[in-house]
Structure 1
Amino acid sequence: MRLLTKSKFKLGLECPNKLYYIGKKDYSNTKNEDPFLEALAQGGFQVEELARMHYPNGILIEGNPWEYEYAWNQTQELLKQDNVIIYEAAFLFDGLFIRTDVLVKKGNIIELIEVKSKSFTPEDEYLLVGKRGGLVSGWKSYLFDVAFQKYVIQKSFPKWEIRSFLMMVDKSKKTSINGLNQLFRITNQGNSRTEIIKKVQTLQETGDSVLGRKDISQIISDIESNKFIYHSNLMFLDAIQLFRDKYVKDEYTNWPTAFTSCKKCEFKYGNLEEAQGLKSGFKECFKKQHKWTSEDFLKPNIFDIHDFRKGSKLFESGIYFKSELTEENIGLKEEPERLTTSHRQWLQIEKENNKDSSIHVDTVGLKAEISRFNYPLHFIDFETSAAALPFNKGLRPYEQIAFQFSHHIYRKDGSIVHANEYINNEASVFPNFEFIRSLKAALEHDNGTIFRYSNHENTILNAIYIQLLNSNEIDKDSLISFIQSISHSTKDSVLKWKGERDMVDLWDIEKRYYYNPLTNGSNSLKAVLPSSLAKSELLQKKYSKPINRINVTSKNFPDDHVWLVIDNGVVKNPYKILPSVFEGWSEEQIENTLSEIEDIANGGAALIAYSKLQYTDMTRSEIDGLTNSLLKYCELDTLAMVMIYEHFKELIE
């Protein structure tokens, strides 16, 4: 049975053409993610369980996701009662199907409550509707989702008076108990099944609630009356009818292409998917609507230009290919001291058009930067989380949690030491103060320059600074002084400082003075490292040897580990060759794991792994497997920074 569900409705809002490609196994889909893992990482399952405790004695409509009529029949039976609370109430009407998070029925008065793990503060009057009177973009799809739910419910029961609410995490509130985040856990029930276990039975046991409710009834009415619209040429009711008809009949909508949605389209594919024989929805749209040929798809197009704000306007004027771009229409702006964003974009365009793979480097500017560094050099990287439900009494939702760091030292003689690391893998332990003590112990022995990559580490240190101010830690004054010495205050900070060893941002240096065409304009560490390895003779010669022969130490890899692997003339990305989490485990052992994580090769996977360590009742061996993989991943992050520094040093020498 093909029904337009609320997830399909939200997909149609992104682009109605996606409704034709979704669910088809012969089409590539880069967003084939596990919604459970996403909910786990964002604290969604915990917030939902806590929200239900605000509405006790509710009845859960169970069953498999595809059992639409079964769930609808169960719901109808319960709705015969004058007063009832239902979790996951199901409504089926004329090809439309929705399930609500919480539904409260008191006679004909209905409260439709959508639970979100997103955060809000009650005094923020522009949370959902901005100063200019339009819906805030980050909330738009959620609000239209609730409007769709209300539409289906109202059509099923026309006489009902429905009020709509968002229930979310309130960042103005503090928890009054320790271990709030541990009250809802996941356990293995055998046969690869998991179950959420509540350790409390009443809301009172959770202390002062950190959830809040916002009445959005008027906003939903404004969506229904088309005061707020999602697409300029599509009204709310027309959208429901269009999406339902096209999805139920499995027809292509032929919705006009647009730069932003096509750029982010998940129905594209890379070389691997193409080799697997999968189709590309992106290609089909451009063949049908723009008559692109096979040759056109080989031409450099404007979709991969990094941070290209002018893309939408140029796309609307019919400019799709890099060969059509000029310095004028991209707004090229050059400055003598640094590469501007538009200059980097023009380098990307020019080099691809001219098939020029050479590096662009401002050796003068780069040399001036490097001359200011003090040896020994320190490279640090943090892995962090932000839990919806706080760890400790007195903390607010989504306070930053620093659970891991890695630290490499590069000495003047070229020797490289993986000097320190820290990880917290214990559930219910708030790690931040022990984290900062360990970092202080690692960095306080000299005045060498400290490097980070991007703004994240500075932001986290600012967050821990505030937490220390509000703490009773005996050594908080020395820890605060240390933080101030290696960081600077953020723009919104009341207290202002800039430390004498304020961390140097290697990401900013890369953006200012260096452009490598192999990065496709990206400045991320995961793009710059393999691109640097592919271009650097020094790095290739050095890191193709075992680490014990190149004066490099490691805390997590054997002495004979080789970081650089070349396969058929192509340098392999070191992140792609990190060992799997459960390397050497039997198939049966892996099937009985709770984490469902195969590899940790990016920050998102690290965050999910930490969430799993916190909220699942896994075995000691599985905890150790995840911990070891996290340590290896974070070590590579700081070694990657060292390699990039060596590459920059090579370029100026």
Structure 2
Amino acid sequence: MPEQKHIFLSKSKYGSGLQCLKYLWYQFNLKNEIPAYDPETLEIFKQGQIVGELAHQLYSEGIKLKRDWNPEKMAARSLEASLQRKPLFEAGFVYKNAYAIADILVPVGKDEWDLIEVKSSTRVKPENIYDTAFQKYTYEGAGLKIKKCYLMYVNNEYVRQGGLDPRQFFHKEDISDQVTELLPGIEKKIEAMLRVIGDKSMPDIKVGPHCEAPYECPLQEVCWKFLPDEDVFTLYRGGKTSFALMERGILQLKDIPADFELSDKQRLQVAAHISKKPYIDKPAIKEFLSELKYPLYFLDFETIAPAIPYYDQTRPYEDIPFQYSLHVVEKKGSLPRHYGYLAPGDIDPRPEILAQLKEKLGRSGSIVAYNSGYEIKCLQLAMRTYPEYEKWVEEMNLRMVDLWVPFRKFFYYHPDQRGGGSLKNVLPAMTGKGYADMEIAGGGAARFEYMRVTFDKKVAESERQRVRAALDRYCEMDTLAMVEVVEALGEISHLK
């Protein structure tokens, strides 16, 4: 097909083709119909860019090439820069229909180069090897001599002390042998992808586990829309079971044969969907509620986990609370009192949060959290940096009660939960209330919005205050939701 000579496969599109040819076809033929990335995904990309820029600091004489969106012009510019025999950042080269931009190319000896792929992950992943192999194929085809291939990734044991130290922040691992093993098959894969791209009809690719691995596909809204209500993919921990049912043509929970092997919890779930009534284990709920000792302290953290630590004595991707919400119920039937804190961001927020909570959580009564292991983890990580709180944190952990337990263990399940046991699923199913009208309605959005308005100095003050107000409302909603769920469980346990 002669028109293919004008088509270039980038590294990312080659990766798309390896994961799903249908998605690759969309990228060239129906690009405008691909749903836009959500703000959380965009922020993850931004973190990757920041990590990449930090890696450049390891090569002080490096040259960063200005991006030209014409691959052939970019290749000519990069080839000219390569004559200087200095490290190159984001140099792009073309070979046949392949086009790849290198994070870092380092000159070695007289005429060779080391290829360094920089990732914001904390280990080498299989997809990284495929990415790097595609690059080596392209660069060598363009005339460069690649000596070694490395993956540079984040050292999650690095502890920031004052200014960032890029040499300690990164690990660099030689992946040359793994890359070499993949080289022979690349050209045929590219040819197959080009045939798919040039076809007027999209390829018939069935949905499967590849829709989420190694990356979540943005076409899920398109490809999965055939599923009916109460589909088999809402099965609790359905995984391979859900796909096995789909392969047999079974798409709804109500149509699962009685002799099909399911876990006990899945059986309870299916029965609830068929009967349209919640499953209730009153004795188990009563036993759980009996563990609650007043006063009750309903606690929730919102956290950041930046790739590059903002504060001293923190590690890459360490969970750092920047906000808490606390509702206190002194005795059964009393109205909850609310306390909260949202950090300004200019200093490590943990000392202030620890000090406030030590004062407000008292010395007795249950501390209720949803998936309490996370709150415990955050406190223990903070204790590592602020050991003066060690004894207090240990005491708080003993008082923790996990409100997720009745739903994770299926003491209660409502069909409206749609297989989910998170607070976002449970609250509307039990009370009819929810997060639908909230500007920020999830932990991921809270994390990235806080980072955006706190650390991006270009954000206007009015926007910053608007987002901070939304963060206050969201975090308060989480702990108020727990109060209402406990009340609902109490009412259910007394039903005849």
Q: In which range does the TM-score fall when normalised by the shorter chain?
A: 0.7 to 0.9
Structure 1 stretches lacking a partner, 5+ long: 121-127, 129-138, 181-205, 226-234, 270-279, 284-295, 334-342, 470-475, 488-498, 535-563, 565-572, 579-598
Given candidates 637, 641, 647, the residue that maps to 2:478 is 637
Match of residue 407 from structure 2: 510
2:131 is the counterpart of 1:214? no
Q: Partner residue of 1:601?
A: 441
* CA apart distance, 1:208: 6.2
Q: Secondary structure at the match of 1:406?
A: strand
Counterpart CA distance in 2 for 1:521 and 1:34 is 24
1:382 equivalent in structure 2: 301
Residue of structure 2 aligned with 1:46, choices 40, 46, 50: 50
Classify 1:144/1:262 alpha carbon distance in 2 versus 1 (closer, same or farther; 3 Å): closer
Alignment partner, residue 486 of structure 1 = 396
Is this contact kept in 1: 2:78–2:93, CA < 8 A? yes
Q: 1:143, CA displacement in angstroms?
A: 2.0
**Amino acid across the alignment from 1:331:** L
Query: Aligned with 1:577: secondary structure?
Result: coil
Deviation at 1:302, TM superposition (A): 2.4
List alignment gaps of at least 5 residues for structure 2.
1-5
Distance (Å, rounded) in 1 between the aligned partners of 2:365 and 2:303: 25
Q: How does 1:12-31 map to 2 (within 5 A)?
A: 12-22=17-27, 24=30, 27=33, 29=35, 31=37
Q: Determine the C-alpha separation between the residues in 1 that align with 2:196 and 2:173.
A: 34
More helix by share: 2
Counterpart CA distance in 2 for 1:145 and 1:211 is: 19
What is the match of residue 37 of structure 1?
A: 43
Amino acid at match of 1:267: L
- Does structure 1 residue 425 correspond to structure 2 residue 425? no
Shift of 1:223: 2.9
Amino acid at match of 1:514: Y
Code of the aligned partner of 1:88: E
- Identify the residue that residue 177 of structure 1 maps to in structure 2: 162
1:520 aligns with 2:462: no
- The 1-side partners of 2:212 and 2:153 are apart by 31
Please state how far the C-alpha of 1:603 moved relative to its aligned partner.
0.8
String of CA shifts for 1:302-340, please: whole Å, max 9, x gaps: 23323213327725853542455345533334xxxxxxx
Say whether the 8 Å CA contact 2:303–2:447 is kept in structure 1: yes
Query: For 1:348-405, what per-residue CA distance to the aligned partner results, in whole angstroms no more than 9, with x for missing partners?
Result: 33444x3x32111111110121123112211100011223223444543333311110
Aligned length: 481
Please give the per-residue CA displacement for 1:610-645, whole angstroms capped at 9, x wherever unaligned.
222443113433332222221111001111111111
Q: Which amino acid aligns with 2:334?
A: S
Counterpart of 2:431 in structure 1 is 533
Partner of 2:149: 164
TM-score (normalised: structure 1): 0.68
User: Using the alignment, how far apart are the partners of 1:641 and 1:468 within structure 2?
Assistant: 29
- Deviations, residues 106-140 of structure 1 (Å, cap 9, x unaligned): 443111111112225xxxxxxx4xxxxxxxxxx12
Measure how far apart 1:173 and its partner are: 3.2
Structure 1 pair 25/118, CA: closer, same or farther in 2 (3 Å)? closer
What amino acid does structure 1 have at the position aligned with 2:60? P
TM-superposed CA distance for 1:483, in Å, is: 0.6
Give, in angstroms, the shift of residue 606 of structure 1. Answer: 1.1
Q: Residue in 2 aligned with 1:230? A: none
1:349 is aligned to 270
Q: Deviations over 1:509-556 (max 9, x none)?
A: 22221101111101111111122223xxxxxxxxxxxxxxxxxxxxxx
Contact 2:211 2:220 (C-alpha < 8 Å) held by counterparts: no
Q: For each residue in 1:277-314, what CA deviation from the matched residue of structure 2 results, as whole angstroms up to 9, or x when unmatched? A: xxx3345xxxxxxxxxxxx7547542332321332772
- Give per-residue Cα distances to partners, 1:151-189, cap 9 Å, x unaligned: 1112212x61342111122233333425x4xxxxxxxxx
- Which of 237, 254, 257 is residue 307 of structure 1 equivalent to? 237
Please tell me whether the aligned partners of residues 150 and 176 of structure 2 are also in contact (alpha carbons under 8 angstroms). Answer: yes
Letter of the aligned partner of 2:356 in structure 1?
A: S
> For the Cα contact (< 8 Å) 1:96–1:244, is it kept in 2?
no
**Partners of 1:650 and 1:88 in 2: how far apart?**
61
> Does residue 77 of structure 2 align to residue 74 of structure 1?
yes
CA 1:153–1:514: 2 relative to 1, 3 Å: same
Q: AA paired with 2:436?
A: K
Q: After TM superposition, list the pairs within 5 Å mapping 1:129-168 onto structure 2.
A: 139-157=125-143, 160-168=145-153
Name the counterpart of 2:96.
Answer: 94
Q: How does 1:102-121 map to 2 (within 5 A)?
A: 102-106=104-108, 107-120=110-123
